[in-house]
Amino acid sequence: MFGVVYAAAGSDAAVLAAVAHDFTPRLEMCGPREVVLDLDGLTHLFGDARAIAAELRRTAAERGLHVRIVLAGTRTAARLLVRHRAGVTVIEPGADAAALAPLPVEALTAVAPDPNDLCSTFRRWGLRTLGDVAALPPAEVAARLGQEGVDWQRLARGDDPRPLVPSLPEERFEQALDLEWPIEGLEPLSFVLGRLMDPLSAHLEQRDRGAAVLHVRLHLVTKVVHERSVQLPAPMRDARTLRTLALLDLESHPPAAAIDRVVVAVDPTPGRVVQYSLLARPQPSPEQLSTLMARLGALMGEGRCGSPTEVDSWKPGAFGMTPFAPVERAAASHPASAVLSPALSAALSAAPWAVPKTPAVALRRFRFAVPARVALEAGRPVRVATDRRGLAGGRVEVAAGPWRTSGQWWDRAENATLASPSTSPPTPPQTRRNLASDLAGNLAWDRDEWDVALSDGATYRLFRERTGDAWFLEGIVD
């Protein structure tokens, strides 16, 4: 037996759902004003069908809802009747089709799953009520209207097109703890986070969910809420990993005062399904990878760890930074070629991605350009000397150049602001050198480049910074 509660216009859908949940967890919300309940088994608690309907109406009235209630053998019959009968209606078992027969055919539009409207077709055939539609021969309806017409005829008889799909209440994956005494520092906070992460991880495991975003809210004694959110690279629910990621983020962004309340919440997402390949090298788990990246981020600074990417610039060595997210390559080309047939191995060897057999010339750049002293004759370098160990320097045997490159001169004002010490945020000592290098890399450049072969037998990339009239060795040609 099913019941449908149809509320008046303007009713609160949340209140309607709460009334239905007081009777059964097997319910389906069909809109903000309509809810379907599976009432099987409730006769032992409330009595017969009329007693259940009366109790439903009384509970709704206590919550301030004006409702219509219909109890019938099928969901479809109850939904069709509730729009045409006021008050409380109870249909006896087996009488659903007879109760639906007087209703007009337009009533089907309220429950029809297909948006196509067949009511005009039924009207042209001279059919006025659901009883007329139900009395048609099913084979003739299928021949003229196809499967869609058969579905509409079943609805006219009160048949359910599918089983009831219970509407699950929205779950909050959140844990909170009020502290008896305020705490300061990350060490005592780690114990509190561990106590909260264990039940949160168990809840995620029970629902087969993973955390996509981790939220940590720290209520301070100053009545300020210190909130941090950690974007996770993959759905995860390991308690130790979540606690470690939260602590590493708070290490870089510590609270300003003592803490008296801790709240941990996650944005849930479907659990991760892992399918490993027999032909690819296994990669670290997302838990290990995210912990490693969080530790590197806490050591080097936020936004300073990731994967390099190309940028639209002619500047030598220019690159961008993106979050580190490795992807598994389809490694079936080279590693598997040893076990493939000779014909397929030959085809793979001739593929465009095959490694070329001819040697290639590459420029091995130095991590930092090496200052150099250059002697010039007629504007061309004739001798190069440097104090860098391992780079002897010497007489220029062959020189090619110069190639002049310049750019970003239009960003001088912005770059000057970036390079200003008064506006730069405080950074750990180990990152100051890299930060200064990065800020210098954002400035405009104007340089002349040369490829020089020296008497020591090596070929170097040499360039001159025209703004400061300084010479540097950028790399060595291998």
Assign residue 181 the CATH number of its domain.
Answer: 3.30.1490.100
Q: What is the pLDDT of residue 45?
A: 84
pTM of the model: 0.47
Q: What is the pLDDT of residue 429?
A: 38
CA-nearest of 210, 227, 222 to 263 is 227
Residue 101, CB-side half-sphere exposure with 13 Å CA sphere:
10
Q: How many domains does the chain have?
A: 3
Give domain status of residue 358, yes or no.
Answer: no
Domain match, 25 and 144 both:
yes
Q: What is the pLDDT of residue 278?
A: 72
Q: What is the pLDDT of residue 308?
A: 85
Query: Is the separation of the CB atoms in 189 and 259 below 8 Å?
Result: yes
- Domain final residue, candidates 238, 270, 302: 270
Domain match, 140 and 248 both:
no
Low-confidence ranges of the chain (pLDDT < 50): 329-339, 414-441
Contacts of 350 (CB under 8 A, 6+ apart): none
Which residues span the domain enclosing 58? 2-157
Give domain status of residue 133, yes or no.
Answer: yes
Q: What is the pLDDT of residue 427?
A: 40
Domain match, 151 and 179 both:
no
Give domain status of residue 301, yes or no.
Answer: no
Give domain status of residue 308, yes or no.
Answer: no
Q: What is the pLDDT of residue 412?
A: 57
Query: In the chain, what percentage of residues exceed pLDDT 70?
Result: 82
Max CA distance (Å), the chain: 110
Phi, psi torsion values for 208, nearest 5 degrees: 55, 50
- Between CA 246 and CA 255 the distance in angstroms is 13
Q: What is the pLDDT of residue 414?
A: 47
CATH number, domain of 43, equals 3.30.70.270
Report residue 87 as tokens: 């008050």
